[in-house]
Structure 1
Amino acid sequence: MNVADENNTDVEIYRKTGHPDRLHIVSRTGAPEELLAQLDASGLERRREETDGPVYTWHETPEGLSQKAQRQLATRTILPLLVAGYDVNIDPDEFDVTAWARVMQTHRVTQGGNAGPSQPPPPPAAGPPRSRR
Structure 2
Amino acid sequence: MSFRHEASGTDAAIYRKPLSSEVIADATDPRAHRVLRECGFIENSVPPLYVWHELPDGLSVEEERSRSTRAAVLLRAAGFGVELDPSLFSEAAYEAVLTEVRTSRADRSAAATATSPAATARVPAASTSATPVAVRPSSAAPSASVSRRR
With normalisation by structure 1, the TM-score equals: 0.71
SS at match of 1:17: coil
Separation in 1, partners of 2:11, 2:49: 16
Judged with a 3 Å threshold, the aligned counterparts in structure 2 of structure 1 residues 111 and 2 are, in CA distance, closer, same or farther, namely closer
Match of 2:80 in 1: 86
Cα distance per residue 1:38-85 (max 9 Å; x no partner): 2112221001124xxx62211011121111101101111122211211
Matches within 5 A, 1:1-133: 1-20=2-21, 22-27=22-27, 31-50=28-47, 55-112=49-106
Judged with a 3 Å threshold, the aligned counterparts in structure 2 of structure 1 residues 110 and 35 are, in CA distance, closer, same or farther, namely closer
Separation in 1, partners of 2:63, 2:39: 13
Separation in 1, partners of 2:33, 2:11: 11
The percentage of counterpart residues that share the same residue type is: 28
Q: Which has the higher contact order (CA 8 A, sep 6+)?
A: 1
With normalisation by structure 2, the TM-score equals: 0.64
The count of aligned residue pairs is 106
2:26 maps to amino acid: V
Larger Rg: 2
Cα distance per residue 1:74-100 (max 9 Å; x no partner): 111122211211110111111111110
Separation in 2, partners of 1:4, 1:108: 26
Separation in 1, partners of 2:61, 2:99: 23
> 5+ residue gaps in structure 2?
108-150
